[in-house]
Amino acid sequence: MTLFIFALILFLLAILGAPLFAVILAVAILGFHHLDVNLSVIAIEIYRIADTPVLLALPLFTFAGYVLGESQTSRRLVRFTQAFLGWMPGGLAIVAFVACAFFTAFTGASGVTIVALGALLYPALTQAGYREKFSIGLVTSSGSLGLLLPPSIPLILYGIIAQQMNIGANVAINDLFLAGLLPGLLMVVLLSFWSMWENRRNPIPYKPFSVREAIAALREVIWEIPLPLFVLGGIYGGFFAISEAAAATAMYVIVVEVFIYKEIKLSQLPAIIRESMVMVGGILLILGVSLASTNFLIDAEVPARMFDLIQSHVTDKIVFLILLNLLLLILGAILDIFSALVIMVPIILPVAVSYGVDPVHLGIIFLANMQIGYFTPPVGMNLFIASYRFNKPVTELYQAAFPFMIVLFAAVLVITYWPALSLVFLHR
Amino acid sequence: MVLHRVEDTILVGLLLTMIGMAVTQIFLRNLFEAGIVWSDVLVRILVLWVGLVGAMVASRQGNHITIDILDRYLPAHAKKVADFVVELFTALICTVVAYYSLVFVQMEFTDGGMAFAQVPNWLCEAIIPFAFTVIALRYFILSFISFKKIVESRS
C-alpha cells in the first residue's frame, strides 16, 4: 500500500513537470532503501557512464550536429538534393524528404530540422504549387524523418541502454546503424509515393535536370559530402570505432564550417558547445540515473514478472508485437524520445527478447514508433516547434500532419512484421 | 555572472580536450600503431564530466528533460504551486544523492586506487557529489523564486 502511494506521488510529480532524472533517482533511492542497499550504490551506477567507451560518440555527434545546424549546411543540402532529384515527378517533395532525413540523422531530431530546413522548404514547396496544408504537414512530419539513419543519437542511446542490460544477445551499435538503413529508406519511399498520389490532380511544373546547376550545387557542398562517408565508410571499412568516427566527424565539422566555409566564427564556437553540451548533460544525466534504477528493477525481477504476466494473456509473438506497437505509439505521444528510451527499454527489451524478438529489430521498431510520436498531440515536440516557427495553431498542424502519420504508420507495420528488412545486413 | 562564465569555460575546455585527445589517438594508432595508454580512460572520464557539468548548466533555468503532460494545462496559480513543489522535490532528491555520493568518494579516497597515470579514482569521481550539490543549490534557488511568486500573487 505504501509502495502504491509512493508510486502515485512520483507519477504526479512527473506529470507536473518534475525533471525526469529526479523522478528516476527517487525511484532508485526508494528501491535501494527498501532492499537495504547502501545508497552510495547510486554514485557507483552513475560512474558507469565513465566505463562505457561508446558513450563518447554521444557528445561528439551531438556537437557536430549543432555546428551543422548553425551553419548554412541546410541551404546547401536543399540545393544539392534539388539539383539531383528535383527533375523527378513529385520532385520537390522527394527533395524535402531526402534532405530532412539526412539532416536529422546528423542533428538528432532535436527540432533543428524544422527550424533550419523547414524554413527553406516550406516557402519553396508553396511557391512550387504544393497546397499550403500539404506543405506544412510535410515539413512538420519530416522533422523526425531520419531518426533510423546513422549516426542518429537515439539509435546510439538505444544501443547503449541495451548493452547495459545483459540480455544475452549482443546489441552492437554498428548493427543498429546497418539495421536502420532499409527501414529509414522505406519511410522515405512510402512518403514520396504518397506525395505523388496526393498531388496527382495538382500538376506541379517539372524542373528539368540542369548539368550546370548540378555541378554548381555539388561544388558548393563538396566539403560536406564526405560526412556520411566518414561515418558509414569509416566504421564499416574498419578504419574507425564508433567513438572514433564521432571524434573525426566533430573535428572535421569544426575545420569545414569554421575555417573553410567560414560561416561560424571561432568566437561563436563556445556558445554552440555550451548549447549542445546542455543537451548532452540532460541526456547523460537521465541515462546515468536510469542505470541505477534499472539495476534495481532487475534486482527486483520486474522484467521477469512482467513477462510472466503478459505471457499468461498473450502467447503469440504477432499479438505481442501488435500490442507493443500500440503501447509505443501512445508512449511516443506522451514522452519525448529520450525519456521513453531510458524508462521503457529496460522493461520492454527483456520481455520482447523472451518472445523471440531480435533486440536490434526491437530497437528499430521502438524508434520507428517514437518517430511518429514527434508529431502526435499532446506533447509532439515538432508540432510545437513548427507552430512557433510558422506561426500556426498546433491543431491545424496536427490535421495537416495526419495523412503523413498514416503513411508512416504503414511503414511501422511493415518494419514490425518483416524483421528481415532490418536484419538483412546483419548475417543473423 | 562570473560563476556562469567559469562554468561555461570549463565546459568548452572539457569538450575541446575530449575531441583533441580522441583525434590524436586516432592519428597515433593509424599512423604509428602507437597510442597514449591512459588516453582512452581519460576520454571516458571526460564524457562523465562533460555530462555532469552540462547538467549543472542546464539546471540554471531548470532546463531538464521533463514529462510535463499536465503542467501546461494548469491554471496560472496552480502552476506556480506545482513549480514550487517539483523544484523543491528535485532539490531534496539531489541533496540526498550529493550526500551519498560524497560518502562513496570518501570511501574511494581511503581506498586510494588509481584511475590512470598518477590520477586517483576519487578525483575523477568527485564531480558526482559536486555536480549534484550545485544542481541541488540551483533548484533550491528556483523553488525559492517560485515561492516568492506565490506569496506575491496572494498579496
pLDDT in tens, A342-351: 888 988 898 8
DSSP code, position B66: B
Residues of B in contact with A64 (CB under 8 A): none
Chain A to chain B Cβ contacts (< 8 Å): 203
In this prediction, residue A315 carries a pLDDT of 79
- pLDDT of res. B73: 79
B37: nearest Cα among B148, B147, B115, B139? B115
A186-214 pLDDT, tens digit each = 999 999 999 888 888 777 777 788 888 88
Average of per-residue pLDDT across A375-400:
84
pLDDT at residue A90, rounded to an integer: 76
The Cα B21–Cα A40 span in angstroms is 31
Chain B contact for A255, CB < 8 A?
Answer: no
Contact B66, A376 (CB under 8 A): no
pLDDT, position A204: 72
Give dist(CA A130, CA A123) in Å, integer: 10
Of B23, B82, B124, which has the smallest distance from its Cβ to A248's Cβ? B23
Q: Which of B18, B50, B59 to mutate to test the interface with A (most CBs of A within 10 A)?
A: B50
Cite the DSSP H helix spans in chain B: 2-32, 39-59, 76-111, 121-125, 127-154
What count of other Cβ atoms lies within 10 Å of the Cβ of residue A95?
26
* Predicted pLDDT at A110: 65
Most confident of A61-70, A77-86, B29-38: A61-70
* pLDDT-derived band at A428, boundaries 50, 70, 90: low
Q: For residue A408, name the pLDDT band (cuts at 50, 70, 90).
A: very high
Q: Residue A176: which pLDDT band, with cuts at 50, 70 and 90? A: very high
Q: Residues A225-230: what's their mean pLDDT?
A: 83
**Cα separation values, A179 from A155, A419, A425, Å:** 10, 10, 7
Contact A247 B23 (CB under 8 A): yes
- A376: pLDDT strictly greater than 70: yes
Is residue A168's pLDDT more than 70? no
pLDDT of residue B125: 92
When computed from its CA atoms, the radius of gyration of chain A, rounded to whole angstroms, is 22
Q: What is the pTM assigned to this prediction?
A: 0.89
| A44–B67 CB contact, under 8 Å | no
Q: CA of A273: how far to CAs of A42, A80, A106, A269, in Å?
A: 28, 28, 16, 6
Show the cell assigned to B125. Answer: 569521481
- ω into residue A151 within 30 of 0, thus cis? yes
> In the structure, what pLDDT confidence band is assigned to residue A182 with cuts at 50, 70 and 90?
very high
Confidence class for position A81, pLDDT limits 50, 70, 90? confident
Residue A70 pLDDT > 80, yes or no?
Answer: yes
Q: Three-class SS of residue B119?
A: strand
Strands (E) located in A112-270: none
Say if residues A176 and A360 touch (Cβ distance below 8 Å).
yes
ipTM of this complex prediction, to 2 decimal places: 0.92
Identify all chain B residues contacting A16, using CB atoms and an 8 Å cutoff. 68, 70-71, 74, 82, 85-86
Write phi, then psi, for B25 (nearest 5 degrees). Answer: -60, -40
Point out the residue among B74, B89, B105 whose CB comes nearest to the CB of A13: B89
Residue A398 confidence (pLDDT) above 70: yes
Residues of B in contact with A56 (CB under 8 A): 18, 22, 43-44, 47
Q: Are B96 and B128 in contact (CB under 8 A)?
A: no
* Conformational region of residue A361, where left means phi above 0, alpha means psi within -120 to 50, and beta covers everything else: alpha
CA distance A256 to A264: 10
pLDDT-based confidence at residue A159 (cuts at 50, 70, 90): very high
Instruction: Note the pLDDT of residue A165.
Output: 80
- B52, B127 contact by CB (below 8 A): yes
Q: Which of A264-278, A361-375, B22-36 has the lowest mean pLDDT?
A: B22-36
Between CA B61 and CA B85 the distance in angstroms is: 16
Contacts with B105 from chain A: Cβ below 8 Å? 43
CA distance B98 to chain A (A): 9
* A111-130 confidence digits (pLDDT tens): 778 888 888 888 888 888 88
- Helical packing angle, A394-417 and A359-373, nearest 10°: 160
Q: Residue A140 has which C-alpha cell?
A: 512538420
The stretches in chain B having pLDDT less than 70 are none
Give me the residue label for grid cell 586516432: B26
Task: Round the average pLDDT of chain A to a whole number and report it.
Answer: 87
A96: Cβ contacts below 8 Å, ≥ 6 apart: A117, A121, A125, A138, A139, A142
- The more confidently predicted of residues A404 and A395 is A404
Above 90 in pLDDT, residue A242?
Answer: no
Report whether A68 contacts A107 (CB < 8 A).
yes
Cα torsion for A33, A37, A43, A46, to the nearest 10°?
A: -90
* Residue A109 confidence (pLDDT): 64
Report the distance separating Cα B55 and Cα B40, nearest Å.
23
Q: List all residues 6 or more positions away from A196 whose beta carbon is below 8 Å from its beta carbon.
A: A89, A90, A93
Residue type, B155: S
Handedness of CA A9, A15, A17, A21 (dihedral sign): positive
pLDDT at B128: 95
